[in-house]
């Protein structure tokens, strides 16, 4: 990307009608199409600055707080990179050290960690009905604190994965597609198969498939969701996908066979998840710490999973895709047959062929997160980015 | 705060006679009145800079080490914010990973973590006779290391809570009072009730009430300490309070009823703590890891606590204060009756009314800590702050 | 160090023929003599800049990742300081939170933590045959990722201790010697005794003695390694030392008595380690989590250690050294008789006399690590350092 191209993207950004300032990024479907496009633009502008060794630092000081209720490597490093890129220092809020519950505690904690904080990234995807709710509760507490004059400014909450959506993942995935296919316009009519795949584990969250069908249906794509009987998602998210497809002249279909989904697909996204009903049951068991109940549930689920071992993205399956050359996607880590497990989501030969693509896909995440933060915190982002370009601070003491 | 007001405070700072350079901040009563005032001034100057979007960064690089021997959210984030504000990166020294004992180990550790370190914040409040001693041992080791030419400069030790004092808390509390009542001069003669309050837990440290009576008695306030029989503090700290009051034409009284303390009070600070004698007994039991002894002690203490359930800051109690409108203070989190526990320190309706005030109170802490670091590390703080104002680096790439 | 002296060292650096750019620092014997000298020069230049209150910051943003498979205080803070000095934010990759195994997982993890990362410091010294291998596997994955266009640039891997070498320690030790004896030229012919010493613990890694004999033999020194029967090191490392000594007109000898090693020594480095054969056995037991086997091994080892209680660096032993005044060295913490243990590696009176020297020795480590990072990441380091000197950014808002 040349500096001229970066400048052109800043101009394009100026033309977008967006109202993201002061608002959290929790679900992609709460953002307008232009806001989604603006997020991609800012991510690309920041990536372009870095390519040109221009420091994209926006803040001279400030904290970026992270709250991870689940382990994470990819997202943790993406968030740390995004904060660092913008000039924020990451400070973990450690759930194990300081338990956050509901109500008064959430309200107080949200305020106490925010006096000099610009962004709060939250991953909370374990319990259905909890993660998104928790993020909104934090957001509401911050709104109150700003309104009451307690906080000097409103930190931006970024959803780093909830029970409903995983927008930093789906947006990074989408940006990968945009660049891979040479522009968003080229995605129109492309078929993407978001399919369940076999895994010898259970309890994987639903937020990735939900995020994918909720986002990809917005750009006129032909989105097919496939899963074995019983492995449905949160019903509301399918409604979102249907509505999106109708509005963008795209298509959204649900089928019950991987083969059907893969047929003529341009893109495939085979990934395991737990059935919605199982996640509900699991949530209740976790709440009461019913260990024997959880073990029994796991046993039943793995037995059920085992019925669908043939849901594997292998060479035979790939042959059915468009020209046999669909782009394979995954949020990583994938369960690779014969590598990370005996039988899994994807055959080793298929994964090998697309490994670099999945890495490039993941590489967009830091910039997506940085874009989300910037758009929530800066009233006039194109002016800010233009100023940063003009400031032209080199990222290193000497050019590399 | 306007830039002009910030500049005026820098001028006022220049008039103070202080000798804080190279000295640690461990107990407020080791600092002169002018030094305490200077700390408030620097905190307000830093806050004013941030309000005017001027970066208060003093260091371009350097570490701010934190040592937390007890869990902490509020103080941890305050310290991280303070370091970040001044340009320091926080590096935790993790007690669980690397146990610090006495003597050689303390001396060596203090040096090893300090080669490029500007500040060390320590929270060590669990054992009577330990926390303050540990902080001084670290300080002495650092003095030696500088004298011997081992360290290029002396990191500042900041007491983030010891067994004796909690100066970052009491100073933040005091600055809140100064601003709330429109200036330090207006605090003269105001009555503050620092009272024990019922809590369904035991073992809360004594450093908050000790810190409050040790500081508030220095500004001509009328300080009343109240606790049920047996819930006394470290005797020396009461002596400090008495001496302070005598010197500033203020008053210090100890009573044994919450009602008496609240009578005509302008400010109330109801908070649970463990009896001094219990803390002594607990310290001995903890040292020998006597679990059954600790359980027995807890049982006895909770039974004793239960006798004083009526020590609750409720509407009836508040009615006795000056005009029924005393300012409620708390270091947070408070035990709120019917919210965080069945019966606790404060009634929900009272807390609700003052919630924002307690949040504003907490919001001063990052600036207080930053001021303590700066005053210990910079020989001529008013010159430094003036230079920072003149440098006029914006805190963000564009003005917000 | 004056600014002029710093400038002179930058000039000297320019004269060195080095090819360190884009290469990891894993073993000192993989680096040429000029590269080792260049590393010392850069470390001293950075230290000189700091002494002159010039900010040595090279990056405006970027991450420095740390992977510690073993607990660490000294090295952790040294790495954090080095990263901070150069402008990088440290982000820990926590093994406990996210287990790294082999093959696919290592390759993927290496990439996922590196999108905006400039350096990766790794400590992995627990298992023979593992640490160095793991570091190379990470390095190979990064090479691939750069070659495949997945990563924008290649993070530098720095060995913070492996099963084979501990280059940040040995290089800091060596720089201490260079400065202590007034220049590298003065080290020629000096006798250093790297000897085993008694400790009431077992399982200490071999990387320190291996690192010392692998490095000190390169500068014409007279290196004597001493250990009781059975306490041998990895055989290959002795071959390295022999070859080095032959090439630099120095000497390398192995003896089986501390007295012999200390005789006329100018420098002594008495330190406990586990026998090579024990480490091999331990590695196998750890791999299969054979707890009773491990307990049995420990018992046997401690019993064997106990035979060599007289391997203590005490006053009597020191008398045999050159003028009775050899320089005592240790990587710390030392097992000090009567202080940190009943009987240990060194007598308290000897340690007391050299304590400050060991602290000064340790103080070089942050600069050595920073030099390793810079030399691996900057194509023309002397030009970069000259630019930093000319930029002349003060490290603090006002000169101290």
CATH of the domain at A80: 3.40.50.1370
**Interface residue B71 vs chain A (CB under 8 A):** yes
Cross-chain Cβ contact B59/C396 below 8 Å = yes
Condensed to tens digits (0 to 9), the pLDDT of residues B10-50 reads 999 999 999 999 999 999 999 999 999 999 999 999 999 99
Residue B397, domain member (yes or no): no
Specify the length of chain C in residues.
Answer: 400
Cross-chain Cβ contact C395/B113 below 8 Å = no
Rounded to whole angstroms, the Cα distance separating A109 from A117 reads 13
Q: What is the pLDDT of residue B98?
A: 45
A152 neighbourhood in chain B, CB within 8 Å: 50-51
Q: What is the pLDDT of residue A167?
A: 98
Q: Provide, rounded to the nearest whole percent, the portion of chain A with pLDDT above 90.
A: 88
Q: Do C73 and C21 share a domain, yes or no?
A: yes
Higher pLDDT, A274 or A70: A274
Q: Do C334 and C358 share a domain, yes or no?
A: yes
At B283, the pLDDT band (50, 70, 90 cuts) reads confident
Query: What b-and-e string marks burial along B264-290, b requiring 16 or more CB atoms within 10 Å of the CB?
Result: ebbbbbbbbbbbbebbebbeebbeeee
Joined together, the tokens standing for residue A149 give: 């004059």
C340 φ/ψ angles, rounded to the nearest 5 degrees: -95, -5
Residue B245, domain member (yes or no): yes
Subunits adjacent to chain B (3 or more Cβ pairs under 8 Å): A, C
Threshold 0.90, pTM exceeds: yes
- In the predicted model, is pLDDT for residue C97 greater than 70? no
Residue B351, domain member (yes or no): yes
- Closest residue of chain B to A64, computed from CA coordinates: B81
Q: Pick from A294-308, A352-366, C124-138, C283-297 the range whose average pLDDT is largest.
A: A352-366
Q: Do C329 and C386 share a domain, yes or no?
A: no
How many CB atoms lie under 10 A from the CB of residue B193?
A: 30
Which B-chain residues 72-91 have CB contacts (< 8 A) with chain A? 72-74, 76-78, 80-81, 84-85, 87, 89-90
Condensed to tens digits (0 to 9), the pLDDT of residues B86-116 reads 999 999 998 654 445 668 889 999 999 999 9
- Closest residue of chain C to B377, computed from CA coordinates: C400
- In the predicted model, is pLDDT for residue C272 greater than 50? yes
Rounded to whole angstroms, the Cα distance separating B324 from B265 reads 9
Check residue A308 and report its DSSP letter: T
- In the predicted model, is pLDDT for residue C294 greater than 50? yes
Q: Do A137 and A255 share a domain, yes or no?
A: no
- In the predicted model, is pLDDT for residue C203 greater than 50? yes
Residue A397, domain member (yes or no): no
Closest-CA distance of chain A to residue C282, Å = 27
Average per-residue pLDDT in chain B?
95
**Contact in structure between C104 and C144 (CB atoms under 8 Å):** no
Does the predicted interface ipTM exceed a cut of 0.90? Answer: yes
Closest-CA distance of chain B to residue C63, Å = 13
Residue B400, domain member (yes or no): no
Listed in order, strand segments (DSSP E) in A29-155 are 63-68, 89-93, 117-124
Q: Do A369 and A355 share a domain, yes or no?
A: no
Closest-CA distance of chain C to residue A229, Å = 32
Residue C170, domain member (yes or no): no
Cross-chain Cβ contact B378/C363 below 8 Å = no
Condensed to tens digits (0 to 9), the pLDDT of residues B103-160 reads 888 999 999 999 999 999 999 988 888 899 999 999 999 999 999 999 999 999 999 9
Which A-chain residues 86-115 have CB contacts (< 8 A) with chain B? 89, 91, 93, 97-98, 103-105, 108-109, 111-113, 115
Q: What is the pLDDT of residue C95?
A: 63
Q: Do A11 and A23 share a domain, yes or no?
A: yes
- Closest residue of chain B to C358, computed from CA coordinates: B150
Rounded to whole angstroms, the Cα distance separating A121 from A79 reads 7
**Interface residue C208 vs chain A (CB under 8 A):** no
Q: Do A349 and A372 share a domain, yes or no?
A: no
Q: Do A255 and A190 share a domain, yes or no?
A: yes
Q: Do A276 and A339 share a domain, yes or no?
A: yes
Question: Which candidate from B89, B359, B397 shows the least CB-CB separation from A391?
Answer: B397
Q: What is the pLDDT of residue A95?
A: 63
Question: In which domain, by residue range, is B25 found?
Answer: 3-165+365-391
Cross-chain Cβ contact C84/B109 below 8 Å = no
Listed in order, strand segments (DSSP E) in A227-296 are 251-255, 267-270
Q: In what order do the strands lie in the sheet with A63-68?
A: A89-93, A63-68, A117-124, A156-162
C89 neighbourhood in chain B, CB within 8 Å: 89
**Interface residue A322 vs chain B (CB under 8 A):** no
Number of domain units in chain B: 2
Residue C104, domain member (yes or no): yes
At A98, the pLDDT band (50, 70, 90 cuts) reads very low
Residue C128, domain member (yes or no): yes
Q: Do B133 and B47 share a domain, yes or no?
A: yes
Q: Do C375 and C355 share a domain, yes or no?
A: no
Q: Do C150 and C39 share a domain, yes or no?
A: yes
Q: Provide, rounded to the nearest whole percent, the portion of chain B with pLDDT above 70.
A: 98
């Amino acid at each position: 990307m040349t500096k001229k191209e970066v400048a052109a993207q800043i101009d394009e950004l100026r033309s977008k009608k967006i109202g993201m300032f002061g608002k959290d990024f929790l679900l992609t479907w709460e953002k307008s199409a232009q806001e989604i496009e603006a997020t991609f633009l800012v991510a690309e502008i920041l990536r372009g600055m870095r390519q040109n060794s221009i420091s994209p630092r926006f803040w001279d000081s400030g904290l970026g707080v992270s709250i991870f209720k689940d382990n994470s490597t990819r997202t943790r490093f993406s968030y740390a990179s995004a904060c660092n890129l913008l000039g924020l220092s990451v400070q973990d809020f450690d759930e194990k050290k300081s338990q956050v519950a509901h109500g008064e505690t959430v309200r107080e904690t949200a305020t106490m960690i925010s006096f000099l904080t610009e962004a709060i990234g939250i991953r909370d995807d374990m319990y259905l009905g909890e993660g998104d709710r928790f993020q909104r509760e934090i957001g509401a507490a911050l709104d109150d604190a700003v309104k009451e004059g307690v906080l000097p400014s409103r930190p931006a909450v970024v959803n780093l994965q909830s029970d409903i959506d995983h927008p930093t993942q789906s947006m990074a995935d989408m940006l990968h597609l945009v660049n891979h296919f040479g522009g968003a316009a080229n995605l129109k009519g492309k078929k993407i198969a978001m399919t369940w795949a076999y895994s010898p584990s259970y309890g994987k969250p639903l937020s990735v498939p939900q995020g994918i069908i909720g986002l990809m249906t917005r750009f006129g794509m032909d989105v097919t969701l496939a899963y074995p009987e019983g492995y449905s998602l949160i019903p509301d998210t399918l409604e979102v996908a249907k509505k999106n497809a109708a509005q963008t002249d795209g298509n959204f279909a649900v089928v019950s066979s991987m083969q059907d989904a893969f047929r003529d697909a341009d893109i495939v996204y085979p990934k395991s998840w737990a059935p919605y009903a199982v996640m509900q049951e699991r949530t209740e068991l976790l709440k009461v710490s019913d260990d024997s109940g959880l073990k029994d549930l796991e046993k039943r689920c793995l037995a059920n999973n085992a019925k669908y071992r043939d849901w594997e993205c292998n060479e035979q399956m790939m042959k059915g895709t468009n020209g046999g050359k669909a782009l394979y996607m995954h949020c990583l880590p994938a369960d690779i047959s014969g590598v990370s497990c005996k039988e899994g989501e994807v055959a080793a030969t298929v994964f090998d062929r697309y490994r670099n693509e999945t890495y490039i896909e993941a590489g967009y995440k830091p910039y997506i997160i940085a874009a989300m933060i910037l758009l929530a915190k800066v009233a006039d982002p194109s002016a800010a980015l233009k100023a940063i370009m003009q400031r032209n601070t080199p990222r290193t003491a000497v050019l590399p």
